[in-house]
Homo-oligomer: A and B are copies of this chain.
Amino acid sequence: MPTTKLYNELLTYMKEITTLSTCASTLGWDQRTYMPFRAADHRADQLALLSRLIHQKLTSPVLGDLLHNLESSVDPTDSTSDFAVNLREWKRLYFRSQKLPVDFVEEFSKTTAQAEMQWMLARKENRFNLFKPWLEKIVTLVQQQASYYGYTDHPYDALLDEYEPAMTTKQLKAIFTPLTQELTNLMEKILGSNFQPNISILKRSCSIIAQKEFCELLSTFIGFDFSRGRLDISTHPFTTQLGPMDIRLTTRYQETDLADSIFSTLHETGHGIYEQGLPSLYFGTPMAEAVSLGIHESQSRLWENFVGRRLSSWKFFYPYFQKQFKNIFEDVSLEELYFAINYSHPSLIRTESDEVTYNLHIALRFELEEMMITGQLKIADLPEAWNAGMKKYLKITVPSDTLGCLQDMHWGGGALGYFPTYTLGNLFAAQFFHTAQQEISNLDQAFETGKFNVLKQWLNEKIHVHGKRYNSNTLCQLVTQKPLDRSFLINYLKEKYSLIYHL
């Protein structure tokens, strides 16, 4: 059988898996946006069935044979052609799927489903003990998972590999240790400043209809294409791809928290612009998929913070903002608004934290995850360790587990190894944005006149169009001519916040 025919068979086979996954994504999107409450049980059945069908196909000997028979056609000197990339990624997926026994997968999925419910209850009632036995089970399962996947240096590497394939625990530590120190220093300088932005303006009541219109406007301004996407509402904002021409964003609205809806929208729009920038012709193959969670997050943080909290962008947004929220912000100048949306202060909740302190929240989670995985930290001691960490990094006292170690859903869902990708996203974003500023002339002038397109096109060409062709480290090197370097983020933050806080 000639290679082309075999390869086309493989393409068809894998596209079917992708299509099934997008069916599941559609159901997942509906579940979190419009589904009636009492429909939850059947939705779980639907998703479990689709997931079983996908798993069956991913672990089928049919797939193994196709991959095996195409092996000899790979040119060993070629690692970046579509064929080489797709084969590499599909082999990776196939072998990873093979490594987990069916019983394990089922136990993992059952345990996390129940653990998530218990986590919700525990968080609501501030009772860590309700969640403790479940987290213990999950950590045991995740340890097992790591040994099924296998690793050379550190069991945490096996977990990272799921979310950020090019990264190791050792590399992460080499980044986090100095980064944490530098951020703590900056945070303390800011705390010592006499300048305080007036953040109360952001709590002024704005109708949800007006917020919704404004968020859609911002999303359009920075380049989201609504002819192949939507913006809806959910408790926790997210972005999901239901097809090559169907990217769904969500945000949330509260009358007295305008900033939350605006920056959630800009964040998710960043994810959406990445998804819309992936080469749709390759849909169904890794060539049309995001590199990693870290690179995905770099795109959301870039638009949310580097563009979305920038003075030049708000020079353009400001008149629309005034027009949209008539009579509410008449007394607020552009500068006051800019200062308010860049308020920096240590806080309890990661998702509400500012650009300076955000990565300290992540550093703590990474530290605790590593200790849980190696067994150095008993789950019973987690709250104490959390609170001590918050004191150490953010200098604040945690009043309750609800506002402490129970705040995030990741652990209940079994997603250990995920948190570090948030900080990687910030680091990549800083480095990419720095490069964009050097390569695109007058970027701030473009923003001031609403020409966000120049940046979007740059990202399209430099990052999005490649799909999974390169891993995150190689991509970073290709785009910025340098390996990942924390100094880009640190310098950006120092410069920006020195100006705002007169440091």
**Contacts from A to B (Cβ < 8 Å):** 16, 19-20, 22-23, 26-27, 30, 34-39, 41-43, 45-46, 49-50, 53, 226-230, 232, 242-246, 283
Taking CB atoms, residues of chain B closer than 8 Å to A42 are 19, 22, 242-246, 283
* A-B pairs with beta carbons under 8 Å apart, 30 shown: A16-B49, A19-B46, A19-B49, A22-B42, A22-B46, A23-B23, A23-B27, A23-B46, A23-B49, A23-B50, A26-B26, A26-B30, A30-B30, A34-B34, A34-B230, A34-B232, A35-B246, A36-B226, A36-B227, A36-B229, A37-B227, A39-B228, A39-B242, A39-B243, A39-B245, A39-B246, A42-B243, A42-B245, A43-B246, A46-B243
CA distance A34 to B43 in the complex (A): 19
Looking at A20, A23, A37, which has the most chain B CB atoms within 10 Å of its CB? A23
Complex copy number for this chain: 2
Interface of A is mostly: helix
Taking CB atoms, residues of chain B closer than 8 Å to A20 are 49
Taking CB atoms, residues of chain B closer than 8 Å to A38 are 227-228, 245-246
Q: A36-B227, A36-B230 are in contact. Are A245 and B41 (CB under 8 A)?
A: yes
Taking CB atoms, residues of chain B closer than 8 Å to A16 are 49
CA distance A22 to B41 in the complex (A): 13
Taking CB atoms, residues of chain B closer than 8 Å to A43 are 243, 246
Question: Whole-angstrom distance from the CB of A180 to the nearest CB of chain B?
Answer: 41
Question: Whole-angstrom distance from the CB of A274 to the nearest CB of chain B?
Answer: 17
Q: Which residue of B lies closest to A280 (CB)?
A: B42
Taking CB atoms, residues of chain B closer than 8 Å to A26 are 26-27, 30, 46
Q: Which residue of B lies closest to A19 (CB)?
A: B49
8 Å CB contact of A246 from B23, B36, B49: B36
CA distance A227 to B23 in the complex (A): 24
Taking CB atoms, residues of chain B closer than 8 Å to A27 are 23, 26
Question: Whole-angstrom distance from the CB of A357 to the nearest CB of chain B?
Answer: 36
CA distance A26 to B50 in the complex (A): 13
Q: Which residue of B lies closest to A39 (CB)?
A: B246
CA distance A228 to B242 in the complex (A): 24
Given contacts A16-B49, A19-B42, A42-B242, 10 further A-B contacts (CB under 8 A): A19-B49, A22-B46, A23-B23, A23-B50, A36-B226, A36-B229, A39-B242, A39-B245, A45-B243, A53-B53
CA distance A42 to B232 in the complex (A): 20
Q: Which residue of B lies closest to A31 (CB)?
A: B26
Q: Which residue of B lies closest to A53 (CB)?
A: B53
